[in-house]
Amino acid sequence: MNRDDRGTERRRRFTAVCEALHPDLLRFAFWLGRDRQLAEDVVQEALLRAWKSFDALAEEGKVKSWLLTIVRREFARSFERKRLEVADLDVLVAAEADVLAADDDAALAEMREALFRLDDDYREPLVLQVMMGYSTKEIAEHMGLQQGAVLTRLFRARARLRQELGIAVEASP
């Protein structure tokens, strides 16, 4: 395989990966930052970084966690760069109302809003566990936390959601 062929093959593989994972990356970034514009910017920048270091990816089976890590780092950079302030939650919810809307499913829309109002520390492990299918060990590695801390955050995340949705709440561990 000559250099041009290798380049074409690299581009083809990367495009295939991006096409498959782009929606999940976008959703992950959206739930991290609760801002659609930020999510789009973060994923775009993350994919540029990923393209530059695509050859360093040793196992293609780990491409999803590799990309999620890049998105998380890029989000942290963007957050720092733009010095985002914690906005009024009602304003945030209103700004993203059409993304949070669930046609004809009030319970789903209510859950989205409750998730939106969850603290960042609780929302991220929940996204990784429920949407991405990560184990608590993988979440701990991804977030640089002890596994026990992840378990506590996940417990509290669900307790907060139950509280927000008016369901009886368990005592905190």
Partner 1 sequence: MMNCLEFRRRVGAEPAISGDEIDAHRGDCPACARHQDELRAMDAMIGRAFVVDTTRIRKPRAVVAPATGRRWLAMAASIVIGVSVGIALWVSSPRASLAREVIGHVASETHAMISTTPIAPEELAGVLDPEGTKLRPGIGDVSFAARCVFAGNVVPHLVVRMPRGPVTVLLLRHRNVDGPVRLEEQGYVGVVLPAPRGSIAIVGRDQKDLDGIAQQVFEAVDWGG
User: Where does this chain bind partner 1 (CB under 8 A)?
Assistant: 15, 18-19, 22-23, 26-27, 30-31, 36-37, 39-41, 81-82, 98-100, 102, 107-108, 111-112, 115, 126-127, 129-131, 136, 150-152, 154-155, 158-159, 161-162, 167, 170-171, 173
Half-sphere exposure of 83 (CA within 13 A, CB side): 0
Residues 6+ positions from 17 with CB-CB distance below 8 Å: 60, 63, 67
Name the residue nearer to partner 1 (CB basis): 59 or 80.
80
Task: Tell me if 100 sits within 8 A of 112, measured CB to CB.
Answer: yes
Distance of CA 122 to the CA centre of its chain: 12
Name the residue nearer to partner 1 (CB basis): 51 or 58.
51
Name the residue nearer to partner 1 (CB basis): 58 or 135.
135
User: Please, what is the minimum distance in Å from the beta carbon of residue 143 to partner 1?
Assistant: 14
Alpha carbon distance, N-terminus to C-terminus of the chain:
58
Name the residue nearer to partner 1 (CB basis): 59 or 98.
98
User: Please, what is the minimum distance in Å from the beta carbon of residue 102 to partner 1?
Assistant: 8
User: Please, what is the minimum distance in Å from the beta carbon of residue 41 to partner 1?
Assistant: 7
Half-sphere exposure of 119 (CA within 13 A, CB side): 9
Residue 172: Cβ within 10 Å count: 8
**Which one-letter DSSP state was computed for residue 118?**
S
User: Please, what is the minimum distance in Å from the beta carbon of residue 25 to partner 1?
Assistant: 9
